């Protein structure tokens, strides 16, 4: 969610300005700077550092495709933040994002950041829960817990479906879209998919984890399509970025539906078609029947939303699919980790939608 402006200068260092044109304070938001511009001053192979206005090093990550350097900023509404990039040895920082294929647990693909954790179902789970929906692990620690939760559950009989002080899996997906999954939509039919058939990790921390899931057989009416879903999760964010494409004989009437599964629990929803977001809150309960606060889900759209509706136990947002990559955001939250009530979550999702529409502007001199 950044826009680049580049100006010439003969300085031996690069001066970076991040401008916030919105009415919202931006805290811990990830921005991108083109790596090629940095390498004009600092040749490839030489290390560099990023300093804030106080001269303190800022953690950064070079994306695997060598397109950009990402780092995180705090910028007040209608204000600017300044950074300097120059040669130097970067400090080591603990990763805040992580994801991996989990063959020891029925081919899950799990990923997380310092706020929340997710997983998608793989081939080994197909007979039980065939779904391309998004599962959620809520947590109340900034530590990365995916490996720990799997190890405890598989080897020490400590179930991650019960809260032992750091969070739990209290979310049910079944054959549904879960917390923000996406599926083709024709006329009034929602075509929820099955498990992914291939995975690929593109980036894996410390500030962003990105991976691709391929679904070779996505049924849409009488045809079968190939779906490729690329998911990115940044440190500090509750919502993932999803980019989805389809290949095959795409029906002329095919639209896309991003959705939130409505469980049979008391739930409250908030939706704004014009602003391009929908959010939901419900009671969270462990497998042992112990109350676990309230869990939340949300979806933010970047394209025009044609309709929002409740259908097939989902809250759906319907958009056109124009045979090009479709981008949207989806994710979840928990009342025990930053959201004291439903309104706090609704405000978060609403503000996220505004940030998408008003990206931070990055200038390099």
Q: What is the largest CA-CA distance in the chain?
A: 65
Whether residue 5 is predicted with pLDDT greater than 60 in this model: the reply is: no
- Give the DSSP letter string of 85-139: EEE--PPP---SEEEEEEGGGTTEEEEEESSEEEEE--GGGTTT----PBEEEEE
How many whole angstroms from its chain centre is CA 110?
12
97-334 CATH fold: Beta-galactosidase; Chain A, domain 5 (2.70.98)
pLDDT in tens, 150-195: 999 999 999 999 999 999 999 999 999 999 999 999 999 999 999 9
**Architecture of domain 2-93+359-364 in this structure:** Sandwich (2.60)
The upper half-sphere exposure of residue 310, i.e. CA atoms within 13 Å in the direction of its Cβ, equals: 10
Give the pLDDT of residue 1. 61
Residue 3's pLDDT band, with cuts at 50, 70 and 90, is low
Residue 124: what pLDDT? 87
Ranges in the chain annotated CATH 2.70.98: 97-334
Domain with CATH 2.60.40.1180 in the chain: 2-93+359-364
**Which is more confidently placed, 78 or 124?**
78
Tens digits of residue pLDDT in 212-266: 999 999 999 999 999 999 999 999 999 999 999 999 999 999 999 999 999 988 8
């Amino acid at each position: 969610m950044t826009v680049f402006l580049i100006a010439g200068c003969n300085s031996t260092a690069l001066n970076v300005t991040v401008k916030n044109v919105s009415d919202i304070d931006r805290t811990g938001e990830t921005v991108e700077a083109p790596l090629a511009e940095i390498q004009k001053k600092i040749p490839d192979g030489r290390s560099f550092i990023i300093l804030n206005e106080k001269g303190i090093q800022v953690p950064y990550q070079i994306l695997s495709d060598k397109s950009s350097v990402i780092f995180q900023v705090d910028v007040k509404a209608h204000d600017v933040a300044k950074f300097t990039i120059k040669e130097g040895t970067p400090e080591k920082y603990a990763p805040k994002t992580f994801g991996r294929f989990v063959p020891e647990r029925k081919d899950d693909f799990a990923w997380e950041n310092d706020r929340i954790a997710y997983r998608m179902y793989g081939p080994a789970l197909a007979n039980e829960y065939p779904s391309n929906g998004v599962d959620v692990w809520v947590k109340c620690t900034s530590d990365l817990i995916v490996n720990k939760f799997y190890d405890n559950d598989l080897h020490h009989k400590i179930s991650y479906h019960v809260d032992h002080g750091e969070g739990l899996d209290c979310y049910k997906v079944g054959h549904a879209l879960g917390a923000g999954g996406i599926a083709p939509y024709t006329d009034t039919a929602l075509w929820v998919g099955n498990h992914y058939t291939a995975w690929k990790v593109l980036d894996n921390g410390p500030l962003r984890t990105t991976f691709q899931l391929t679904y070779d057989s996505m049924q849409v009416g009488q045809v079968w399509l190939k779906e490729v879903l690329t998911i990115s999760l940044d440190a500090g964010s509750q919502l993932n970025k999803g980019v989805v494409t389809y290949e095959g004989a795409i029906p002329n009437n095919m639209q896309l539906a991003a959705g939130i599964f409505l469980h049979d629990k008391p739930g409250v929803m908030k939706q704004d078609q014009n602003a391009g977001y929908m959010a939901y809150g419900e009671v969270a309960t462990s497998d042992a029947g112990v109350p676990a606060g309230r869990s939340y889900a949300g979806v933010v759209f970047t394209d025009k939303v044609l309709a929002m509706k409740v259908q097939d136990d989902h809250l759906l947002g319907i958009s056109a699919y124009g045979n090009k990559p479709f981008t949207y955001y989806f994710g979840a939250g928990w009342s025990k980790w930053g959201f004291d009530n439903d309104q706090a979550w609704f405000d978060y999702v609403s503000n996220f939608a505004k940030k998408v529409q008003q990206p931070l502007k990055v200038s390099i001199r």
